[in-house]
Amino acid sequence: MSDDGAAGPVVDLGLLDPLTGPTTAAVVGDAAYLSAMIEVEAALIGAFVDIDVAPVEAEVDVAVLAAGVDLLSVAAAARGGGNPVIPLVAALRSAAPQASAPWLHRGATSQDILDSAAMLVASRALAAISADLRATVGTLADLADAHRHTPMAGRTLSQQAAPTTFGLRVASWLDAVVTARTSLRGVATRLPAQLAGAVGSATTLVDAAGGVEPADRLRIEFADRLGLEHRASGWHTDRTIVVELGSALALVIGSLGRIGLDVSLLSRTEIAEVSEGLAEGEGGSSAMPQKRNPVASVLLVAAARRSPGLLGTLAGSLLAEDDRPVGAWHAEWPTLRELLRIALGAAAAARGLVAGLSVDAERMRDNLALTDGAIHAERATEILTEQVGRARAAELVKAALDADGGFSEAILYLAEQDSQLSDTASVLAATTVHRGPVGLSNQMIDAAIVRAGAST
């Protein structure tokens, strides 16, 4: 298969998409899709051989079929029929061996070929994504365990709220990635082949196979050759599997984007609790030489902001009229491919990000002290409430927050002056010291790690 001009203007080299760029082209680029379509056509010929309808000599190697196909020519001619299968079949017919040509595209329609090829490409992409996610899961599990006792400020609505641990934050990342990977792996086992003919009844396939029973066997052999799931019925207008696939990809992209967002915020100059492990030449600015930009995090967040719109387009394709739709199917092609590309790039970037993440535990402790103990106000309120009721506890906490010298000292002083709280002062003293773990954080971290281990 020729792809002359691959460096020309028709190929996306990643100028505006540094997360994916050329690194994903081998898996989901135009050449990968074209190769998959040729594999599908070869599998169909092979399936006719498997059921003893076509002669053994008809079976053809994919490389032989692909030899006479030019990617740019097929792409240019796709406009004429509205899809790339029509010019591809014409090119294959002119180049196929004599014994194979009569069985090429026999009983199939364009959507059968392109749908099956899309699932084949997706299957390979999902394997690569899952491998990167597995590595990320392992790294996050280790990171959560290592920092289960590392105290940090928990933040809500962008403000310091109450103490937590960095290990618990990482465990939350871990849980989300495990969920996304589980969803992805579930969809990967159900990617179906498509072979249902012009209007989904497989009528000409029955004619070509010589009956209903051999046509059924042919469809099974076809799916087996491609390593895809066999479905008893076609899915030309039932696009639920495509939306499921897109949803799983969006889960992956979003869960990784959330890590990128957290890392970007925690690496701000004024927070500086974590930093990316940047390689030589990464993270620079064109104007400000002092900057170390969190590049992987930025790209992960950008990816996560792109995926919802793409998923929405796929969901819109569920509205597929008649027996093969106008436009809905066509809208899926670039949309699904883009989700695959983004997920591939995001999975690889996140793997590198978490592996090289630098954690500044001392800075986390320093930031905990920024509010002079006010970050412990919630916990102090609960402890005081047990002794003097909610209203009185709220008064004491407000007074301590308004006092000079910091909340921790003030709340202890107020407690010591109140006869009802003489036994509570020591508890408050322990509460307002920065320690870890907090609450059920250890149990939550353990649960996340166990779940991660079970998912690999």
DSSP string, 260-310: HHHHHHHTSTTT-SEE--PPTT-S--SS-TT----HHHHHHHHHHHHHHHH
Q: Which pair of structure tokens corresponds to residue 96?
A: 């196929």
Helix axes 240-266, 295-316, angle to 10 degrees: 160
Catalytic residue (one of 233, 285, 358, 426): 285
Q: How far apart are CA 148 and CA 151, in angstroms?
A: 8
In three-state secondary structure terms, 418 is coil
Q: Using CA atoms, how far apart are residues 319 and 27, in angstroms rounded to an integer? A: 29
**Active site (annotated) includes residue 268:** no
Specify the pairing of strand 274-275 against strand 159-165. Answer: unpaired
Task: Return the H-helix or E-strand segment holding 165.
Answer: strand 159-165
Give me the half-sphere count of Cα atoms (radius 13 Å) on the Cβ side of residue 146.
11
How far is residue 149 from each of residues 75, 120, 162, 265, measured CA to CA in Å?
Answer: 57, 45, 15, 21
Cα dihedral angle (111, 112, 114, 120), rounded to 10 degrees?
150
Known catalytic residue at 134 = no
Amino acid, single-letter form, for residue 385: T
- Comparing CA positions, the residue from 112, 327, 333, 336 lying closest to residue 243 is 336
Q: 349 to each of 28, 118, 188, 346, how far by Cα in Å?
A: 17, 24, 21, 5
Catalytic position from the list 134, 155, 239, 324:
324
Q: At a CB cut-off of 8 Å and minimum separation 6, what does 258 contact? A: 173, 176, 304
Question: Are 148 and 167 a contacting pair, CB within 8 Å?
Answer: yes
**Which residue numbers are catalytic?**
285, 324
